[in-house]
Amino acid sequence: MTEDQQIIDKFLTELTEEVATTYGDHIDFIILFGSAARGEFKIGVSDIDLVIQLKSGGNRKAIEDYSTDIFWDLDEKYQTQFKRVLSTAEPKNFGEKLLKKLEKSTHLYVPIFVIPHGWLDWQGGRIQKPSWKPVAFLLITQVIIFEKFKYEGKILFGRDIRPLIKPKITFWERWKALQIPFYISLFALAISPLFLKNSLKYATKAILWQLDSILVFLNIRLNEKGEKIQRLENEAKSQIEINTFGFYLKSSISLISKKELDLFEKAIKIKTKELELTHKESRKFIFQAFWFILRTNWSILIKRYITLKNLLKVLIFFLVLVVIAYFSITYYALYKLTHPKPKPLEFNPEQISQEYEDVNFPSRFDNLNITGWFFKSGQSEKVIILVSGSDQNRIDPGYGSDLVAKDLISYGFNVLLFDFRGRGNSDYAIYSIGAYEKYDLAGAYDFLKEKGFADKKLGIVSISLGAGTSILALPLIPEVGGIVLDSSYSDINKLVERELPGRSGLPRIFSRGISFWARVVYSIKFDEMIPKKILKNYPDKELLLIHGNNDKYIPLEDSVELQRSSPKSDLWVVAEAGHVKAYKQNPQEYISKVIQYFERNLR
């Protein structure tokens, strides 16, 4: 035992006796930790860390003041030179006073802590005082403090608390163990231009704290500093091993250099006054401390977490997130697609003809109430159902449904205009891109048959997605006399891929997810909604296909594909016409071709 250690032992014995004699009935225990407890005390270099826990909260201030007075009296008696030690030295200027006030407010470098019972949870290793708790949770490595109590603490008075100390080492505590030395070194670097002496003190403290912090983070327990430094050096090495095609390579990469590890020894010498630094050397050391702690933290994190196993975990986690995001986005996109905002029906049917009646009929599938207008044309036995596109009710002004209906009536055809489910005045339901709307069309067909119209006298003029719906309905109404398909799509999957970016802003890759959710949530099966495949089952059916060569929504190629599937059908390509704009581009020729087609087929 050194002479300095013998002196501090006498100092502590007398301090304990004085305090215990006066306030022993109020004290639960007195515990010492730090260099004096380890037998490493040096006069003029070391300070002491002493905790007095009371049995209750009474007399805390009086006991703290009394203990502190005794402390300074004994410092003078034993010449322990605590006033020379940075952690207990008196401030000399305004800046040092400010820092000292900050230290006291955070209870740093206080020689004696006097605490009531309950401020510290010794068994769990946590600070419980309400005003300290948030700061302790965020900024204090509680595990290190309580482990010092447990493994190097020395009981000077009262019960032995050490066997009860079992700190809970959470990931957050280990993470703080790495971060707090970094924050201290950063603070030291920040104040170095103004308070070099204090900055050097903080940088030295950060370096020495870093050693224990890293080992806590790695969940390693060692006592000797030499062992700790050697273990840190080993932990900062990364092994690379390649063994493939007969080629073998094994190499070790050190993430921290030997020179950098020497900073620990340098910090110890600075603390023990064995090494005095010039201003320039001090500034260099402060920066080295900051850079070393930063590099050490990253080295340990890389070594511990950047492994093949962890990379696979991250990859799997990322893939799971991508899958969740993909299906969440596509579900939302499908929801928006199937729940369009209904457009109110504000058109006056008398603008088409005075001879009309409001009608309603059930959808063939689920008996939803479908509403419409039936326009009579004298005693004609022929009737045309006008089928609207995706976003419209029975009147589509973009196409000119009212004008087409008026023209058909003038040529001796009865006309039925109706609202698909979820549109106009029909019962509300989701928009299913034709999967369920086809039953509404079949319901319209049934309604007209009940009115006495024969199958062969029934025709359909349909546009856009309504044209696709007419083809989907064909297996339900195979005896229909004729169908005009204006701007129809040929494949629902391609349609969704094309429409998706414009309707939702999503790339086409999301179309598969929409197809999945459509099947799962609404039983909408895209693979059963491909018009060009359906038409192949009706090779003798003669249809009239109409398409503008300037269609930006559904390309002309779709109608070409439909014609390939229906060899007896005709395709009329309208020059310069956009989507469902063939009638407006050339109304007389449009009606002429439609009338000729129906005169030929409805008989």
Domain of 246: which CATH number?
Answer: 1.20.120
pLDDT at 171: 78
Tell whether 579 is covered by a domain. Answer: yes
pLDDT at 517: 92
Mean of pLDDT over the chain = 87
Claim to verify: residue 362 and residue 473 sit in the same structural domain = yes
pLDDT at 502: 63
Tell whether 77 is covered by a domain. Answer: yes
Tell me the pLDDT band of 169, cut-offs 50, 70 and 90: confident
Claim to verify: residue 162 and residue 176 sit in the same structural domain = no
Please write the tens of the pLDDT for every residue from 424-479. Answer: 999 999 999 899 999 999 999 999 999 999 999 999 999 999 999 999 999 999 99
Tell whether 89 is covered by a domain. Answer: yes
Claim to verify: residue 146 and residue 221 sit in the same structural domain = no
The more confident residue out of 171 and 591 is 591
Please write the tens of the pLDDT for every residue from 188-211. Answer: 999 999 889 889 988 998 888 887
Tell whether 517 is covered by a domain. Answer: no
Claim to verify: residue 90 and residue 207 sit in the same structural domain = no
Claim to verify: residue 435 and residue 548 sit in the same structural domain = yes
Claim to verify: residue 288 and residue 385 sit in the same structural domain = no
Claim to verify: residue 369 and residue 226 sit in the same structural domain = no
Q: Of the spans 109-113, 363-367, 562-566, which averages the highest pLDDT?
A: 562-566
Residue 349 to residues 345, 373, 380, 459, Cα–Cα distance (Å): 10, 8, 20, 21
pLDDT at 251: 44
The Cα–Cα gap between 191 and 278 comes to 17
Claim to verify: residue 217 and residue 268 sit in the same structural domain = yes
- Assign residue 439 the CATH number of its domain: 3.40.50.1820
Structural domain that includes position 289: 172-306
Q: Which of 290, 306, 322 is the last residue of a domain?
A: 306
Tell whether 111 is covered by a domain. Answer: yes
Claim to verify: residue 244 and residue 157 sit in the same structural domain = no
291 Cβ partners below 8 Å, 6+ apart? none
Residue 299 to residues 50, 69, 158, 233, 360, Cα–Cα distance (Å): 35, 46, 44, 10, 76
Number of domains in the chain: 3
Confidence check: pLDDT of 29 > 90: yes
Q: Which of 146, 168, 190 is the last residue of a domain?
A: 168
pTM for this model (two decimals): 0.58
Claim to verify: residue 238 and residue 214 sit in the same structural domain = yes
What percent of the chain stands above pLDDT 90?
Answer: 56
Q: In sequence order, which ranges of 224-278 are alpha helices (DSSP H)?
A: 225-235, 258-271
Averaged pLDDT for residues 270-290:
89
Averaged pLDDT for residues 53-64:
89
Q: Which of 151, 168, 185 is the last residue of a domain?
A: 168
Tell whether 194 is covered by a domain. Answer: yes
Claim to verify: residue 256 and residue 361 sit in the same structural domain = no
Tell whether 515 is covered by a domain. Answer: no
Claim to verify: residue 152 and residue 249 sit in the same structural domain = no
pLDDT at 76: 93
Helices (H) and strands (E) in the chain, counts: 21, 16
Tell whether 207 is covered by a domain. Answer: yes
